Chain A
């Protein structure tokens, strides 16, 4: 709402009150000091400013938090999909052409969604302590999924253990991030 219309509404409210008081023949003591008048004006202005500041700050912060939480959820979802396909490859004992394409696409999505999260955190000037760990583990996860003899050789037991470990750490860090963002 514009300032002019706010003031107009306020004055209209005062006018209605005075009208009501006149109609009920209320006796007003019109004797007042200029300091009383100024005090009322200042109080009203401060009240309006506080209300405006609190409303805007709170709603902007909530929108930013929701966006970042959505980005975090997106990353978690890509990570879960990649892990599922990885387990399929372990079960099949090979990396099929379809799974190869899916893993490359999902690692790209994981990387890009982490990058978007980084950008968002920077823009919102928000510090999420778990993000450094997420960023640190990102390359290790890529290496576990698509390093070594990928995609021509099947995943080994060593890679299976490594992937599981990094997957669990990354998932836990991303979950922690959700709470850190929400409690910001």
Chain B
């Protein structure tokens, strides 16, 4: 785990949607692709430039589809080195404890696809 401090925060429910949707934009509203491009990637870059960590609050939504999470977080790991993505992201998930482990799996497996 990195010793850097949290320099950016992102809440999926407050900043994006309480009902995260499908994988791609063409498939519907509030997609993983849309979240990646409009929120996750800019916030990740900000944290990286400040040598900090991005804290993502996953609570408060109706639930996440694997397709959404894989496209958003796996997608970020396909654009940037996955080790760096893994280090720059921290998560808060009180609603669903396994979610953090699952997202880390998507990041880890992103380049294998």
Q: Which residues of A contact B (CB under 8 A)?
A: 101, 104-105, 107-108, 111-112, 114-115, 138-139, 142-143, 145-153
A115 contacts across to B, CB distance below 8 A: 97-98
Q: Closest approach, in angstroms, between the C-beta of B16 and any C-beta of chain A?
A: 16
CA distance A112 to B98 in the complex (A): 8
The answer to whether B63 touches A104 (Cβ under 8 A) is yes
- B62 contacts the other chain (Cβ, under 8 Å)? yes
> Secondary structure of the B side of the interface?
loop
Of the listed stretches B7-15, B20-28, B45-53, B76-84, name the one at the interface; the rest are far from the partner chain.
B20-28
Q: Closest approach, in angstroms, between the C-beta of B113 and any C-beta of chain A?
A: 12
A112 and B66 in contact (CB under 8 A), knowing A142-B102, A150-B22, A152-B27?
Answer: no
A149 and B66 in contact (CB under 8 A), knowing A111-B96, A115-B97?
Answer: no
The closest CB in chain B to the CB of A104 belongs to B63
> Secondary structure of the A side of the interface?
helix
The answer to whether B105 touches A149 (Cβ under 8 A) is no
Chain B, residues 48-70, CB within 8 Å of chain A (1/0): the string is: 00000000000000111111001
The answer to whether A143 touches B97 (Cβ under 8 A) is no
> Would you give 14 A-B contacts (Cβ < 8 Å), ordered by A?
A104-B64, A105-B62, A107-B63, A114-B98, A139-B98, A143-B66, A147-B66, A147-B67, A147-B70, A148-B23, A149-B23, A149-B67, A152-B27, A152-B28
CA distance A150 to B99 in the complex (A): 18
Within 8 A of A (CB), among B76-113: 95-99, 102, 105
CA distance A112 to B96 in the complex (A): 6
A146 and B65 in contact (CB under 8 A), knowing A151-B22, A152-B27, A153-B27?
Answer: yes
A112 contacts across to B, CB distance below 8 A: 96-98
CA distance A101 to B19 in the complex (A): 9
B27 contacts across to A, CB distance below 8 A: 149, 152-153
